[in-house]
Amino acid sequence: MRAMVLRSFAPIEQRPLGLRDIPAPAPGRGELLLRVRVCGVCHTDLHTVEGELAGVTLPVVPGHQVVGIIEGRGEGAERFEIGERAGAAWLFSACGVCPFCRSGRENLCESGRFTGFHAGGGYAEFMIVPEAFAYKIPSKFADEAAAPLLCGGIIGYRALRLSGIERGGILGLYGFGASAHVAIQIAIHWGCRVFVFTRSLKHRELALLLGAAWAGSAEEAPPVKTNAAVIFAPAGALVPTALANSEKGGTVVLAGIHLTSIPAMDYQKHLYHERILRSVANATRRDGEELLSLAAKIPIATTTSVFPLEEANDVLRALKEGRINGAAVLRV
């Protein structure tokens, strides 16, 4: 099968992903063989390729926002029919028995494995997904519209939940890529006012088109302080800014898997008055199921740009340089 394979870490400018012909995987017990149709491109893929994340199993095929067709089933796999459409997301598997799994926090599983990180992902013609971790894709979404929901959508939804934002509240979004352009639609559906902070003029235009009440740069003061905020950009320098822009009792959520160093903060200015700073780590299957159901109800409209598989290096570079408006999707 054709696949974009990462054999060694390197800056994306050096084009570390190579188009290879490798053997197609075979499904084991409880597993599905997915013929990949599309795979969304995520900032986590960029961090993986550039070696910014520990624990990557090399060589690896990246990609974890996958929509495809069930081509084969291993023994005992019965949730999906051959030919049915299904999705794969970041969480590839969890043990089910550790304290985190038993308490409904499988996103923190001691033995958790992740798609396109420990296991082969969707930058390929075929991939394996445990049937218990595969998603049914709502029929109203085309393949390319569904792909960004499977990580950007899921993690954005979890971040909003953990922010504690309430109907009528004011929400700040820092960075406006694939995840934020889904999260804003959820927040507005919940009756929130949304302020968007981003350097890109095109991203500000998209934010306003999607219903943002205000859009500007992080250096600008918002009209009023926010009740909650989510930082999607992997920039630690945004943390003191988001906290300073927060109302008393406000929560700032860090939604990325990687963040540059956070500058020193002033306790009185940034954290006092019961402000909360917390991270989001991965997501649970429940998050994914709830997000897909909500996305179909709203319905969420994803803004996508579609590229051929072999252009993965160029697409990741465009993502790094902020040249993707909405989400990028590879068609396999």
Ordered DSSP codes for 8-57: S---GGG--EEEEE-PPP---TTEEEEEEEEEEE-HHHHHHHTT-STT--
Q: Which of the four pLDDT bands, split at 50, 70 and 90, describes residue 114?
A: very high
Q: What is the pLDDT of residues 131-173, one digit of tens each?
A: 999 999 999 999 999 999 999 999 999 999 999 999 999 999 9
**2-150+283-331 and 153-279 share one fold:** no
pLDDT 10s digits, 287-302? 999 999 999 999 999 9
Q: How confident is the model at residue 226 (pLDDT cuts 50, 70, 90)?
A: very high
* Tokens describing residue 329: 């999707």
Q: Which residue has the tokens 């020193």?
A: 264
Question: Residue 178: is it exposed, middle or buried by C-beta count within 10 angstroms (0-12/13-18/19+)?
Answer: buried
pLDDT of residue 192: 98
pLDDT for 274 equals 98
User: Which tens digits make up the pLDDT trace of 240-268?
Assistant: 999 999 999 999 999 999 999 999 999 99
User: What count of other Cβ atoms lies within 10 Å of the Cβ of residue 321?
Assistant: 10
Q: Which helix (H) or strand (E) holds 239?
A: helix 238-244
CA quadruple 255, 257, 259, 265: dihedral sign? positive
Give the H or E element holding residue 3. strand 2-6
* In contact, 109 and 95? CB cutoff 8 Å: yes
pLDDT in tens, 303-329: 999 999 999 999 999 999 999 999 999
Q: Mind listing the pLDDT tens digit for each residue in 33-73?
A: 999 999 999 999 999 999 999 999 999 999 999 999 999 99
Half-sphere exposure in the Cβ direction for 79 (13 Å, CA)? 16
- Tell me the fold of 153-279: Rossmann fold (3.40.50)
CATH class of 2-150+283-331: alpha beta
At 91, the pLDDT band (50, 70, 90 cuts) reads very high
CA dist 52 and 61 (Å) reads 16
Q: What is the pLDDT at residue 98?
A: 97
Q: What is the pLDDT of residue 17?
A: 98
The ranges assigned to domains in the chain are 2-150+283-331, 153-279
- The tokens of 47 are what? 């961090």
CB 161 within 8 A of CB 181: no
304 and 148 Cβ atoms separated by less than 8 Å: yes
State which amino acid sits at residue 128: I
Full DSSP string of 133-190:
GEEPPPTTS-HHHHGGGGTHHHHHHHHHHHHT--TT-EEEEES-SHHHHHHHHHHHHT
How far is Cα 197 from Cα 218, in angstroms, rounded to an integer? Answer: 5
What's the confidence (pLDDT) of residue 13?
98
Q: E strand or H helix at 243, and its extent?
A: helix 238-244
